[in-house]
Amino acid sequence: MILTHPTPWGEAYRFNLREAVLGAKLVPNPEQIFLIPNPTALALINPPTEPTLYLVSNDASTDLAIALPDGQIFHQSHPYGRDAFHADIFYQLLYPQWLPEQDFLNTITWDLPWPGNPDRRRREAAAVALTRHPMGEMVLTIAARVAQILHHQPTFTSQLGAQTWGISHEGIQEKILRAWFESFNGVLNDLLSLAGVTTTEIAAVYWQGDLLRSTLGELREQLGWKLPNAQLVAQDTPLAVGAVQLPQQPDWGERVEHQYSDFFLLAELLRIAPQGDVSLDSLCGLLQRRGVNAKVCREARRAYPLTALLQGQLPGGLVPDLADPWLLPQGAAAYKALTAAPLLTPNEEGTAYRFNSSQAQRLAQYLKLCLATTHQTLKEPLSFNPPRF
């Protein structure tokens, strides 16, 4: 089974997606479930003959990939998607008009996010405030409807109670889209640098998703200026059509991530937990003796968790972000001990590290609790054999 997912949805999401498939008994083993980012699936539908850019907008992000004819593919993601766009229509265009006459808005306390930008902390805090408000769902529904209407006409006017209000596509462009393209452009520049191609070498741009469809006019203008030799092509074919082509291009199947997930490597390190000082090379040696291809896991694109754990980081999603406004205070207290100290601490020279035995024990117990009722055990790496259709 081959599934697609938004690029930034990390290891916790991938683990849970496999659990859902295993729980539904669609396949018996986790190694039979292959996960690829959405832009990879789009690239499999439209294989590149020249350097090609692929864009897929989702609810929470706009994902990018550049694929080269030699089989290399490079990914980036801009954490701004359809939901943020709809919310910004309310924050920037509806809220200022409605506030003087709609009393219910006076009961919302927030610090509005920067328009067109991820601005994660303020955006999530504002989303929590709006979601918990009795009228929150209604105003977001109106904002989404406005976005749909203004895709087909330049202006829109309506009534809310006794108040007449109006909004224009020009207003969306001025208040939101200019900032969004500026922010998006920075991510695109990073991707071009990562892929080692210039703006004039991109021959085609394939795109899919609601946010890009809603901003198509601006998208054509901005990308036409940015990528002068690229043809912009809408692709509405379901991504599943691309996913089934993975066996034809197995190198795009994220072999290392499939075989050695962040959670698996963390579990292996906790099982090893050597005493005394240990270098990264020594850790790799211990992992190799357990059958792990530690050399592959040390590649730059796979810093997790061998290098990242040495820097005091845990795999993303293992422990909730304690600053997340969606996390209740009692929940934050329960997770605080897991992040109170790093798993490993460096010596003065930074050449060796020592396991924090207390923290290792806490994490091992937590991981055991997380796995108590799951189909995945994280005891063995997964084999990589994409199915053929």
Residue 389 lies inside a defined structural domain of this protein: no
- 120 within domain boundaries: yes
> 231-267 pLDDT, tens per residue?
999 999 999 999 999 988 888 988 888 888 889 989 9
Which runs of E-coded beta strand occur in the chain?
2-5, 34-37, 52-57, 62-67, 73-78, 155-160, 163-168, 204-208, 231-234, 277-278, 344-346, 353-355
Number of domains in the chain: 3
| 94 falls within a domain | yes
pTM (2 decimals)?
A: 0.90
Do 129 and 217 lie in one domain? The reply is no
Can you tell me the mean pLDDT for 23-44?
95
Assess whether 90 and 112 both reside in one domain. yes
Are 274 and 365 in the same domain?
A: yes
Half-sphere exposure of 372 (CA within 13 A, CB side): 6
> Does 292 have pLDDT greater than 90?
no
Picking from 20, 37, 123, the residue whose alpha carbon sits closest to that of residue 376 is: 20
Helices 82-89 and 120-131: crossing angle in degrees, nearest 10, is 70
- Note the pLDDT tens digit of each residue in 118-150: 999 999 999 998 888 889 999 999 999 999 999
Q: Which domain holds residue 265?
A: 261-370
Q: What is the DSSP letter of 320?
A: -
Residue 131 lies in a domain: yes
CA angle at residue 211 from 210 to 216, to 5 degrees?
95
**Alpha-carbon distance 20 to 323, whole Å?**
28
Q: Is residue 181 part of a domain?
A: no
pLDDT digits (tens, 9 = 90+) for 301-335: 444 456 777 777 888 888 887 777 777 676 677 78
Highest-pLDDT range among 64-68, 95-99, 342-346 = 64-68
